[in-house]
A = this chain, B = another copy of it.
């Protein structure tokens, strides 16, 4: 069997489109997006498939996992974490004083002075205070209340928890959740898990993937026929699309949410990942506040952050927070109850989040190193964002919008009709077919656009820009060569 054939068997084994089989002993109604999942699965199986391949190394450009691609942890963060983990180290001369100070403070806020105790379900108090102070600083003084901060098990947990408390109703009054297309597949998966109604609004590819409020209007109007649209999800900076929303756009969105009484979910996990010199991150919270009390006292908003992205890339610790404002007190009570069922988010992840929101400041011993490490990661990402955009746009049949932020390219690819037919013969989406061929021939793993959603008849893939610069150049060159050969083959 060929490598590709084996991969296909593997895909088949891991469950097809997941729509479920009624003859199963125990049924489940889960309909998770297929190609996204397959890519995750596939990549983890490659080493097992011990067949001769035309490449020497698999390059996992499929998932935003910085440290897995060789990015080094921020020293200060890990020092504080090590001190908290094994407090004997507080006596060691090899750790800087500012790290020790942070560790002591965190430990004092933990039950029994240990990361090993459960925290309050909402998170360790002093960490929530640090998050609130960070938000206030970030938003130029707009106040944040620690009571509105909830620490979470990565942003994933926060997003699914909020959706869980918002979804209700049956039949035509079932909750509709508006999500961008292309989207980050957590959203469609959780919506499916909760049997909520997914309401798509399309980002404008012709316009650098901008969000257009007219499109939101269209989507909400159409949705009202078959559900009760109550929630509007925004990802800014965008994944997989990499756009950074303008202040004007955010104002428009908030106004729209206010008009339509929608609960706003602002996924801002890439808030530190902005590269285009003419773009700037504006938080929904800040803009909401600046639009005045009519908006800021009424629009319900949850915004999400994470330790996984930014410059720290601490995915494995599963740290995150959400800030929830204007939530009805009774719903807030329900939220805390729901969180308390699973006891608490990982305390080590909470500690990591603390260091992200409370990093060394000028004058502290660790500041210089911290600053250097942070700027090096972000500077490199900015360089790679530009490099990727430029190179893709040199390839005939590929068009790539500017990577304004986040850590992905989502180029549009031309797939010739003969390749579309070949894909259909394999019962695959055309871009899935393309990505499989790319993997098979080059060892480069990317995710097909159909895993995120895209306008009918368009094809894309998502590739991270996380590999180190030199490796990224090789990757881009290989994709280019592959694409040209692919076009020739199916001309």
Chain B min CB distance to A344 (Å): 7
Contacts of A69 in B (CB 8 A): 112
Tell me whether B24 and A331 are in contact (CB under 8 A).
Answer: yes
- Do A118 and B27 contact each other (CB < 8 Å), given the known contacts A37-B340, A154-B343? no
Bound together, the chains give a CA A364 to CA B110 distance in angstroms of 32
List the B side residues contacting A71 at CB < 8 Å.
112
Report whether A40 and B315 are in contact in the complex, using a CB–CB cutoff of 8 Å. no
Instruction: Identify which of A134-142, A345-353, A421-429, A434-442 touches chain B.
Output: A345-353
Task: Give chain B residues whose Cβ lies under 8 Å from the Cβ of A333.
Answer: 13-15, 18
Contact between chains at A190 and B28 (CB < 8 Å): no
Contacts of A169 in B (CB 8 A): 27
Residues of B within 8 A of A336 (CB): 14, 41
User: Are A114 and B338 within 8 A (Cβ)?
Assistant: no
Which residues does chain B contribute within 8 Å of A30, judged by CB atoms? 165, 334, 337-338
The verdict on A46 contacting chain B, using a C-beta distance below 8 Å, is: no
Q: Are A328 and B25 in contact (CB-based, < 8 A)? A: yes
Q: Select the stretch in A82-90, A244-252, A368-376, A471-479 that faces chain B.
A: A82-90
Q: Does A5 contact B (CB under 8 A)?
A: no
CB of A317 within 8 A of CB of B348, answer yes
Q: Is the CB of B317 within 8 A of A28?
A: no
Q: Which residues of B have CB within 8 Å of A317?
A: 115-116, 346-348
**Does A119 sit at the interface, judged by CB under 8 A?**
yes
CB–CB A28/B331 < 8 A: yes
8 A Cβ contacts from A8-63 to B: 13-15, 18, 20-21, 24-30, 32, 37, 40-41, 44, 63
| A273 interface contact, C-beta 8 A | no
> Are A15's CB and B330's CB within 8 A?
yes
> From A332, which residue of chain B is reached at the shortest CB distance?
B15
Residue A92 interfacial (CB < 8 Å) = yes
Contact (Cβ within 8 A) A341 B29: no
Among listed A73-81, A289-297, A387-395, interface-contacting one: A73-81
Listed stretches A156-164, A234-242, A401-409, A454-462; interface member: A156-164
User: A314 within 8 Å of B by Cβ?
Assistant: yes
Alpha-carbon separation in the docked complex, A346 to B317 (Å) = 5
Q: How far is the CB of A178 from chain B (nearest CB, A)?
A: 15
Q: Within the complex, what minimum Cβ distance (angstroms) separates A85 from chain B?
A: 5
A329's nearest neighbour on chain B, judged by CB, is B13
Nearest chain B residue, comparing its CB with the CB of A95: B86
A315 near B116 (CB under 8 angstroms)? Answer: yes
Q: A480 within 8 Å of B by Cβ? A: no
- The answer on a CB contact under 8 Å between A32 and B67 is no
| A66 CA to B300 CA, complexed, in Å | 38
CB distance from A354 to the nearest CB of B (A): 14
Write the chain B residue with the least CB distance to A47: B125
**B92 touching A86, Cβ below 8 Å:** no
Nearest CB of chain B from residue A43's CB, rounded to whole Å: 9
Please tell me if A193 contacts chain B, counting CB pairs below 8 Å.
yes
Which residues of B have CB within 8 Å of A287?
A: none
Q: How far is the CB of A478 from chain B (nearest CB, A)?
A: 21
Among B37, B63, B160, B263, contact of A337 (Cβ-Cβ < 8 Å): B37
Determine whether the beta carbon of A193 is less than 8 Å from that of B118.
no
Chain B residues closer than 8 Å to A81, beta-carbon distance: 85-86
The chain B residue with its CB closest to the CB of A263 is B26
**Cβ of A380 under 8 Å from chain B:** no
Given contacts A92-B94, A348-B348, contact A337 B117 (CB under 8 A): no
Please name all residues of chain B whose beta carbon is closer than 8 Å to the beta carbon of A186 when the two chains form the complex. 341-342
- Of all A-B residue pairs in the complex, the 6 with the closest CB atoms, nearest first, are A15-B333, A68-B111, A316-B347, A82-B86, A68-B117, A67-B116
17 A-B pairs with CB atoms under 8 Å apart are A14-B336, A20-B330, A21-B330, A25-B328, A26-B331, A28-B166, A28-B334, A40-B121, A73-B116, A82-B89, A92-B94, A116-B316, A116-B317, A118-B308, A153-B318, A160-B341, A185-B341
